[in-house]
Structure 1
């Protein structure tokens, strides 16, 4: 499945799932814009892995909760590579704050990044895709678009909104030959590093409160015997942005190893 000649933007590509997606796209020949906000060391690692696989990467920093920065991001990528064919909306926050303890500031921050950030990225990239005669948008959501969480209610709310964003986007953008599809991963192992580890989002007081809670046991069952890997998500992304999926839009793909069946 070659993606040679295609130009992709992957948000949140410095860690975890985003890194796995960017590397898989690069392996298949796409030129990849590796976006990051805080995890600069991770973005460099992603670019190095793409280069080691024979691909081409361009690192770009932006805060996806800020519209001018998103517009700058897309403009820089288009200028560097000559256009944009693929957008993978992946950058997101997960603060793990209980329902009654969420502050208005934390709520707004989650919505601005996880939901409005995706929407703004889609708005900003469409003009460049129209210049190329079409494009592919893949939205990374979560099984929690369908199933409530027991660890972060606002995270779950954003994922539910993302699911409808994908459906509405698929309808609106079809006339431009732009498809919009969603992936809903279950548990995915992303290693020790995360965006929150790089530069913590919590205040010292919030961190102490989180430390005082007992660890949440891993109670989910996985029929295939393991949790997901970032490369699992990356492989599905590569299919959805390929020519083989040109008639697929507005679809949501649960990628959880069957765990939601139990």
Structure 2
């Protein structure tokens, strides 16, 4: 599929999606959000893709926010629709993908950019990364899940401070907060992500899919995460991956998971 604002490349079981608007600091406009949805959907449907990495083009920004010019004149109803559609189309969609999604955060990850990174299953940052939710400085609040996911990741107090001050934190602080899993140099960012991706791809994609569902269930109102875990655990016993994994363990060899 051809895109105007992103690049998508599949190689050795890893699909790398790159937001390709460096002149706009990779800001998210309507078209980019729609293209990202399509690219994630396509990668998730590709049986050869074991891990998805999303990053931004250039050295300055992962995503420096949303394209404010597109919604500066919106009224109340239009603003609510903007948030609802964006969450459904991209941010919630990414969070609930069955394929692991890793954000390679290079440079600025602000507003919608940080919200996209937080929707991914985990994050790796370069040492020049700056992360924040500056929306209140524009008279609005985060609308793509930022008020929900940031407290889940860093705690209520830290999230309150970050959102209320509209400030940025550096990569080291993000690591200490648990907002990112690893920090490395910009040159080593994608190689490190790929190294982690290869470790993931050695394991059962079927089991990983079940683990994602069980972990996400803990953060959904009205859902008993323990029951979801029990159900997903039980389902594993009916898979070819379980048979191969246990057989390989007993035979003291490396498992070759069929992904079924």
Larger relative contact order (CA 8 Å, sep ≥ 6) = 1
- TM above 0.5, yes or no, is no
